[in-house]
Amino acid sequence: MPATVSVIQRTGPIGLPVNTAISNLRHNTDDTANPGTVNPLVRPTVGSNYGYWKTTYLNADTTPDGTIDNIRFFSDGTIGWTGVELFAGTDPAYTEATGTLGVTGNISTVAIVDIVNYVFATPLAVPGSLSNPSTGKISDFVVLQAKVGTGAVAGTLPFETLTYRYDET
Amino acid sequence: MSTWKANYVGGESLNQYNEDGSENRYKDIDRTKLFSFELLNGDKRVYVLLLHEGQRLIFRRRNWINLNGKLLKQVYLVGYQFNDSTGKNYQVINYIHEDGLVELDNDRNDLVIHPDEIK
């Protein structure tokens, strides 16, 4: 049987992380998974604010027949959020998202490439693999962070689809 | 298509699923005596790969999921690899899409994802 694979967001301190299956990854200004509308992004009066970075990874809920590998991550090439940019990068290690709660996140040193550069033709290569009979974390972390400029539009921003691709034997 | 069948020289075969419901894995295929490899949709054969001396089977599923974990697309990769007299490796792979489209290409194992893979 093919493995059941999910995308997990890790939150919390390094020593006691919480791993949660993503139902709605909303960029905001706290370190929680599926946060709803609490602590939204804040438009700055000058300069930029940031969301807390969001740390995701591929997880095998059931074991594959063989191996899962060859992982890629990409967008459709456009982020339709006026005044808001989205950055991405990979990290083998987890770092808790930090910042000023409800105001701005600290700037990630990992999520530094505008995600519109990661499209099907030039996706982000994500290290990691997992083989039978193992389950659990497959990939390195894909870290995402929203950057909010003064031109951001108030209100809920539209959904954007980001895609993981992987091979399974 | 959902299952595979490996046919060996001499007439024996290995189905992905045994009659008792247990499953054979890709690594269970004895590729040293593999004659052909089939994909089945129920009992119907929908793809057959014939292998010749020096050709080694490639089989994998390529999956696309969104952040919610929803499977957006799946493509079967079936083909073979071989080495020429200098040892250089070549891979010949059919990319079999859910809608019936079949593309013949190399391994595409570089960073490029072909446009047809995201349709």
- Per-residue pLDDT for chain A (169 aa), expressed as one digit of tens each? 789 999 999 999 999 999 999 999 999 999 999 998 999 999 999 999 999 999 999 999 999 988 999 999 999 999 999 999 999 999 999 999 999 999 999 999 999 999 999 998 899 999 999 999 999 999 999 999 999 999 999 888 999 999 999 999 8
> Which structure tokens are listed for A150?
């003064």
Residue A120's pLDDT is what?
A: 86
Q: Would you call B68 and A162 a contact, using CB atoms and an 8 Å cutoff? A: no
Residue A48's pLDDT is what?
A: 97
Q: What amino acid occupies position B103? A: E
Q: What pTM did the predictor assign?
A: 0.90
Q: Is B40 on the interface with A (CB under 8 A)?
A: no
- The answer, yes or no, to whether residue B109 has pLDDT greater than 50, is yes
- The answer, yes or no, to whether residue B118 has pLDDT greater than 70, is no
Fold that domain A5-168 belongs to in CATH? Immunoglobulin-like (2.60.40)
The mean of the pLDDT values for chain B is 89
- The answer, yes or no, to whether residue B111 has pLDDT greater than 80, is no
Q: Is A77 on the interface with B (CB under 8 A)?
A: no
Cα separation values, A74 from A14, A162, B40, B75, Å: 27, 6, 31, 17
CA triple B83-B86-B91, angle to 5 deg: 25
Q: Which residue has the higher pLDDT, B113 or A26?
A: A26
Task: Report domain extents, chain B.
Answer: 3-118
**Position of tokens 């490029």?**
B112
Q: How far apart are CA A141 and CA A111, in angstroms?
A: 11
Chain B residues 66-95 within an 8 A CB cutoff of chain A: 66-69, 72, 77
Segment B21-53, tens digit of pLDDT: 898 988 899 989 999 999 999 889 999 999 999
In A, which residues are within 8 Å of B25 by CB distance?
A: 65-66, 132
Residue of B nearest to A165 (CA): B64
- Number of other residues whose CB lies within 10 A of the CB of residue B71: 12
Phi, psi of A125 (to 5 degrees): -80, 130
Residue B116's pLDDT is what?
A: 57
Rg (CA), chain A: 16
As a whole-number percent, the residues of chain B with pLDDT over 90 amount to: 73
Q: A36: which residues sit within 8 A by CB, 6+ positions away?
A: A24, A26
Q: Would you call B65 and A7 a contact, using CB atoms and an 8 Å cutoff? A: yes
- 3-state secondary structure (DSSP) of residue B28: helix
Q: B58: which residues sit within 8 A by CB, 6+ positions away?
A: B77, B78, B79, B80, B81, B91, B93, B107
The ipTM, to two decimals, is 0.91
